[in-house]
Amino acid sequence: MPVHKASCPSCGAPVDFRSSAALLVVCAHCRSTLLRKDMNLETIGRMADLLKDASPLQLGTEGKYQGKPFTVAGRVQMDYGEGTWNEWVLAYDWEHHAWLGEAQGRYMVTEEIPVKETLPALEGLAPGAEVVLNGARFEVIDIQDARCVGGEGELPQRIQPGFETTVVDLACPDGRFATLDYGDDPPRVYLGRQVPFEALGFKGLRGIEGW
Amino acid sequence: MAEARSFACPSCGSALAIRGLENTALVVCGQCGAAIDAKDPNLKVLAKYRSNAKYQPLIPLGSRGKLRGADLECIGFLRREVVIERVPYRWSEYLLFNPYTGFRWLTESQGHWALVETVRELPQVAGAARHGGKTYKHFQKAWADVVYVLGEFPWRVTVGEEASIDDYVCPPFVLSREKSKDETVWSHGEHLEPREVWEGFKITGLPPGRKGVGACQPNPHRGLGTLFLVFAGLALLVQIATASLSQKKRVFSGSYDYAAQSENAKVTEPFELTGRTSNVGIRISTNLNNAWAYFSLALINEKTGKALDFGRSVSYYHGYDDGHWSEGSARDEVYLGNIQAGIYSLRIEPESDPGKTFRYGVEVWRDVPRWNLFWLALLLLALPALVQWIRWYRFESARWEESDHPWGGGDDDE
């Protein structure tokens, strides 16, 4: 796992990107959004500031999911009006990645998957409705309008701060969770599970004063 | 203690704290009832609720405790209400926070406590609900209103907020589905003893007394059924072992005629009783038909001459009026216990109505396994199990009395 060392084309600060899946890197120093083109970085804008939140995670936090160690390489912060949640990028051995949805002490590990079915239109969905993903029946448990606040670290896809989307959370009796992101057409589908905090074996968490 | 962001209530100036970090979306002032938007930099007042605190939370806001191994800080308090057949029922919900593991609810209803968290796996519902390998029976469906709010919440809770709640129970657990207009939330709770809450939060004084049986309160009257089976099994093993060691040997058999006029006293040939001191069975069979006989008997020890006297009556009557009837039996069986080994004989002297004749046979059996003690033991063992079962049943019917499906109410279980 080679660490690619580069410097920020905007401010010259050193930028490390280690994940081969990273497409975008946010300069930790000047918050320039850098698009990766092979070994070169190209500034495409400046990333909006993230909102302060209560997350105990931070870039570099390590953990384990289903026996595989990961490092938190990046995050996207979303705002749903009454608060924010994070989608952390979990880099496994710096080649594969998963997403860790995190809000209010709840953790959901998902990976983007292709689905055979044509997904229903957002207008037809309500809590309790059924959605079939690759033959498995899921139930809609939550529909949330959200706005992308911004991101940090290494990201596997381009994000647009301020971009508004609607996400639909689905659950299946076998314990799987799925999220449909209607910000793209067709919607992106993320499949995974909600995982108890203790099961993720975090190391290098952000300290929370008083706790 | 926790780091708390503090500010003055924009409505009444009281000092308020935010303990739920950036999760907090709403703070309701305990002094004036102002509902403050915690996400708004100007701390906008969204609503104003009753100024007089009508309910005093039993667990003070801001206190930190430990429940089931988790550190939790009490940050919010709700009173909720359901109306069932025009009768309002109210309960309390305490919002507990931990920055790593998130939120829990501690609910209190009529002195019954439960620690609740949202579920990770969607339960399957088909009448009953299945979750984590357990089956939860439907308990109650109701529309719940929020009637009182205090402290902080991660969403903008409002007084009057409505949700439909379905509770399913598998004591000591409860599974609830709350449906509001944009969300379905499943949560899983576990019964807590009031003492656990009081010790966990180091609250002085006594918790409020419990009324009735809680929906997910474990039934304390249990376990004797298994215990009964264990002891009954042991008794059976002892019985079988004893029976297998028994000789069950016929040592004498003879048959005689009875005629009223002749000398009817008979003394049998001597027979030998062997082995351990045990019982002797005397079986009498007759051809009595609508007649009776009385047998005076004596088991005589040939060596000592000692006689063990006893009497048996045998009668058998039958007939036909309004159907066939019969009474008694033409046979009899009796066991004499504690008979030592030795040479014995049996003296038999029957009596009957004058002029009667009949034929009878006598058999003497040595060391016959007996089941009467076993049945008695079983009965004695069954009694406490039965008493316990009645207690268990009464507890369960008290629980279900409060549900949509009272026992014996003719209401099917969906």
pLDDT tens-digit map of A187-199? 999 999 999 999 9
Contacts of A205 in chain B (CB under 8 A): 100
* Cα of B180 to nearest chain A Cα, Å: 9
Residue by residue, DSSP assigns B342-408 as EEEEEEEEEEESTT-EEEEEEEEEES----HHHHHHHHHHHHHHHHHHHHHHHHHHHHHHTSSS-TT
Contacts of A142 in chain B (CB under 8 A): 182-184
Question: Do B194 and B203 meet the contact criterion of CB atoms below 8 Å apart?
Answer: no
Number of H helices, E strands in chain A: 0, 15
Position B76 scores a pLDDT of: 96
* Cα of A11 to nearest chain B Cα, Å: 31
d(CA B287, CA B352): 13
Q: Which amino acid is at B399?
A: R
Q: B79 φ, ψ to 5°?
A: -110, 135
Orientation of helix B372-401 relative to helix B224-245, angle to 10° = 170
What stretches in chain A show pLDDT beneath 70?
Answer: 1-3
Dihedral sign (CA B264, B267, B269, B273): positive
Please enumerate in sequence order all residues whose Cβ is within 8 A of that of B232, keeping only pairs 6 or more positions apart, or say none.
B378, B381, B382
Q: Which amino acid is at B308?
A: L
Q: Which of A54, A127, A194 sits opposite B21 (nearest CB)?
A: A54
Q: Which residue from B minimizes the CA distance to A197?
A: B101
Cis link prior to A127 (omega < 30° from 0)?
no
Asked if B102 and A104 come within 8 Å (Cβ–Cβ), the reply is yes
* Cα of B1 to nearest chain A Cα, Å: 6
Position B2 scores a pLDDT of: 43
User: To the nearest whole percent, how much of chain B has pLDDT over 90?
Assistant: 69
Token pair, residue B216, equals 């997910």
Position B51 scores a pLDDT of: 54
d(CA A105, CA A83): 13
Lowest mean pLDDT among B135-144, B231-240, B291-300: B231-240
Position A127 scores a pLDDT of: 84
Asked if A83 and B22 come within 8 Å (Cβ–Cβ), the reply is yes
**The pLDDT of residue B111 is above 70:** yes
* Cα of B102 to nearest chain A Cα, Å: 4
Suggest the residue from B1, B6, B23, B103 to mutate for an interface test with chain A (most A CBs closer than 10 A): B23
Q: Which residue from A minimizes the CA distance to B3?
A: A210
**Burial annotation A131-169 (CB, 10 A radius, 16+ → b, else e):** bebeeeebbbbbbbebbbbbbbbbbbeebebeeebebbb
Token pair, residue B72, equals 């939790």
Q: B254 φ, ψ to 5°?
A: -155, 160
Asked if B21 and A51 come within 8 Å (Cβ–Cβ), the reply is no
pLDDT digits 0-9 by tens, A27-62: 999 999 999 887 788 898 889 999 999 999 999 999
CA distances to A138, B113, B175, B188 from B132, in Å: 17, 22, 11, 11
Q: B52 φ, ψ to 5°?
A: -85, 120
Q: Is A30 exposed, middle or buried (0-12, 13-18, 19+ CB in 10 A)?
A: middle
Q: Which residue from A minimizes the CA distance to B4?
A: A210
d(CA B252, CA B178): 80
Reference A118, options A189, A166, A171, A174; nearest CA is A189
d(CA A140, CA A118): 16
Contacts of A143 in chain B (CB under 8 A): 182
Kindly report the pTM of this predicted structure.
0.80
Cis link prior to B154 (omega < 30° from 0)?
no
Task: Calculate the average pLDDT of chain A.
Answer: 91
Interface residues of B toward A, Cβ cutoff 8 Å, are 1-4, 20-23, 25, 39, 71, 98-103, 118, 120-124, 130, 154-156, 179, 182-185
Contacts of B122 in chain A (CB under 8 A): 139, 141, 171-173, 175
Q: Which residue from B minimizes the CA distance to A53?
A: B22
pLDDT digits 0-9 by tens, B267-277: 999 999 999 89
pLDDT digits 0-9 by tens, B12-36: 999 998 999 999 999 999 888 899 9
Distance of CA B307 to the CA centre of its chain: 54
Asked if A52 and B22 come within 8 Å (Cβ–Cβ), the reply is yes
On whether any CB of chain B is under 8 Å from the CB of A53, the answer is: yes
Q: Within the 92-121 window of chain A, which residues sit less than 8 Å (CB to CB) from chain B?
A: 104-106
Q: Strand, helix or coil at B232?
A: helix
How many beta-carbon contacts under 8 Å exist across A and B?
90
Contacts of B184 in chain A (CB under 8 A): 127-128, 139-142
Position B4 scores a pLDDT of: 60
**The pLDDT of residue B414 is above 50:** no
Position B52 scores a pLDDT of: 55
Q: Which of B1, B123, B154 sits opposite A83 (nearest CB)?
A: B154
Please enumerate in sequence order all residues whose Cβ is within 8 A of that of B329, keeping only pairs 6 or more positions apart, or say none.
B314, B316
Dihedral sign (CA A40, A44, A49, A51): negative
Asked if A143 and B23 come within 8 Å (Cβ–Cβ), the reply is no
Please enumerate in sequence order all residues whose Cβ is within 8 A of that of B387, keeping only pairs 6 or more positions apart, or say none.
none
Asked if B102 and A139 come within 8 Å (Cβ–Cβ), the reply is no
Position B223 scores a pLDDT of: 66
d(CA B337, CA B284): 17
d(CA B251, CA B274): 9
Q: At B210, is the pLDDT very low, low, confident or very high (cuts 50, 70, 90)?
A: very high
Q: Which amino acid is at A5?
A: K
Position A2 scores a pLDDT of: 59
Q: Which of A53, A171, A198 sits opposite B122 (nearest CB)?
A: A171
Contacts of B100 in chain A (CB under 8 A): 56, 105, 197, 205, 208, 211
Distance between terminal CA atoms of chain B? 49
**The pLDDT of residue B329 is above 50:** yes
Question: Do A67 and A208 meet the contact criterion of CB atoms below 8 Å apart?
Answer: no
pLDDT digits 0-9 by tens, B332-378: 999 999 999 999 999 999 999 888 899 999 999 999 988 888 899 88
Complex ipTM: 0.90
Token pair, residue B361, equals 């046979």
Question: Do B116 and B176 meet the contact criterion of CB atoms below 8 Å apart?
Answer: yes
Reference B215, options B150, B290, B154, B165; nearest CA is B165
